[in-house]
Amino acid sequence: MTELLPQPHDVVVALDIGTTKVCCLAGRKNTHGKLEILGIGKVESAGVLRGVVSNIEKTVNAIREAVDICERNARMKFRSVHVGIAGQHIKSLQHRGILTRDSDHTEIARRDIDRLVNDMFKLVLPPGDKIIHVFPQEFTVDSEQGITDPVGMCGVRLEANFHIITGQITAINNIYRCIEKVGLKVADLTLEPIASADATLSEEEKQAGVALVDIGGGTTDITIFHEGIIRHTAVIPFGGNVITADIKEGCTVMQPQAEKLKVKFGSALANEVFDNRIITIPGLKGRDHKEISEKNLARIIQARMEEVLDYVLWEIRRSGYERKLIGGIVLTGGGALMLHADKLTEFHTGMACRIGVPVENLAHGYHEKVSSPIFSTGIGLLLRGLQDIEPGNSQTVDNQNVSDDREPSNVSEEKGPSWFDTVFKKTKEWFEAEPDLDFERKK
C-alpha cells in the first residue's frame, strides 16, 4: 500500500452529502486556471433524508468510505473539506442595510461593504436558525440607485439590498459533527444549489436571467439569477426518490427494482415511448416473471415529474422573475439524467430548457464520469474552495469568518513608514545605485 502524502495548500477537497450518494472530490487549478480533478470517491448514502442528516453513524460511515476512495485516488491525506448543505429547513429572505459614512470626500472602500455585510449577520432570526450566506444585490449611494459595485465612489449614505440564506442550527451542527468524527475539518459550508450554479451556469446566462433546477434524490433545489445576481433560492422537499416510490407502488415491485426501472428504462415523456414495449423482471422466489409496460412506467414518471415542475414554476412566479428569465431553465442533478426531462420541462413550463453539465471550468483530459450532472454540486464546491484560497480574496459572506465581531478590512493595521523615512530611503537607494550605473556605462 502506497503511503499517502499530506494535502498541499493548493488542493481543495469538496464533500457533497446527498440523500442518494456521498461524493468526495479533490482538485486544484492548473497553469491555465482550469480545474484539474485529482480524485473521486462516490458511495451510496444511507443516513440522509431529504438532504438532512437523519442517522449520524450511517452518514459518518458513508463519508469515511467516500473520503478513503478519494484519498487513494489522489494519493494524499486530506485535512479539511468544503461541504454543501441543503434540506427543507433552508429559507431565504430579503433585507436592506444602511451605513452612514463620516465623510463624502473619501472613497467607498471594500471595508464599508464588509461592515454592511457583517451587520446582516446580527439580524434577529427565529429561534434555532442561523445565517449561512449573505449576498449583496444592488447598492444605493446618496439616492443614486442600481449600483452593482460602489467601491471607489464618493458618498455619505451607503444602502444595499441583501439576499440572506438561513438554515437550522441543528442541521448545520449535525454536518459538522459527522465530518469531525471522520477526522476532518470543515473549511467552508455552502448552500448546494449555489455551488451547482457555479459549476453549470455561464456568466452570460446569469446576466440574461436563468433558473437553475437541481433535481437530487431527496430535494429539488432552485436558484434564480438575473443581471448576474442571485435573486431567489428555494428547496423543494422531494426529488427523484418520490418517483422511485411511485414506481414501486404503481408497478408493485421492490424498491431496488423500481430504482433500476427508473434509471434504465424510465422516460419523462410517455408520448415518446412505443406502446408495445414490455420490460420483464424476475419474480420473487418461486414466482413467475413480472411484465411491465414501458408506456405505463413512463406515465408514472411523467405524472410525478410534472408535480415537481409545478412546484418549480410556483417558486419562479413567487420570485417575481417569471417573465425576466431569458435563459429559461437549466436542469442538473441526478434527475436531469432522466430521458426527455428537458423536453417535459419545456412543454410544462413554456420556458427554454437545457441540461447543465459541470464541464465548463474543467481542464482538458478530465474523466468522462465527472461530466455527469450528478457531480454539479461537488465541482461547484471545489470551484468555491479554490476562490477562497486565492491571494487577496476576502470571504465576506462566509459564515465561519464573520462569526466574531471584528470587522474584516482590506487595510493593514500596521502603520506605514512616515514621509521622512520614505524620502530618506529613496535618497539612500539613489546614492547607492548611481555609482554602480556609472561603472557599468564605463565598461
Confidence (pTM): 0.81
Q: Measured between alpha carbons, how far is 31 from 34 in angstroms, rounded to an integer? A: 7
CA pseudo-torsion sign 355, 360, 363, 365: positive
Lowest-pLDDT range, 134-143, 183-192, 383-392? 383-392
> For residue 55, is pLDDT > 90?
no
Lowest-pLDDT range, 6-10, 99-103, 223-227, 354-358? 6-10
Q: What is the dihedral of CA 198, 199, 202, 207, to 10 degrees?
A: -20
Q: What is the pLDDT of residues 345-380, one digit of tens each?
A: 999 999 999 999 888 878 776 777 788 888 999 999
Q: Measured between alpha carbons, how far is 85 from 190 in angstroms, rounded to an integer? A: 6
Between residues 60 and 48, which one has the greater pLDDT?
60
Query: 10 Å Cβ neighbour count for 148?
Result: 11
Domains of the chain are 203-358 (3.30.420.40)
Helix (H) or strand (E) holding 48: strand 48-49
| Coil, helix or strand at residue 390 | coil
Confidence of residue 325 (pLDDT cuts 50, 70, 90): very high
Between residues 282 and 179, which one has the greater pLDDT?
179
Count of alpha carbons within 13 angstroms of residue 130, beta-carbon side: 15
Taking CA 65 as the corner, what is the angle to CA 44 and CA 337, rounded to the nearest 5 degrees? 30
In the chain, what's the furthest Cα-to-Cα distance? 103
Instruction: Check if the beta carbon of residue 168 is closer than 8 Å to that of residue 128.
Output: yes
Backbone conformation region of residue 209, classed left if phi is above 0, alpha if psi is from -120 to 50, else beta: left
Between the two ends of the chain, the Cα-to-Cα distance in Å is: 62
Confidence of residue 420 (pLDDT cuts 50, 70, 90): low
Give the β-pairing of 210-215 and 185-191: unpaired
Phi, psi of 22 (to 5 degrees): -115, 125
Q: Measured between alpha carbons, how far is 88 from 53 in angstroms, rounded to an integer? A: 12
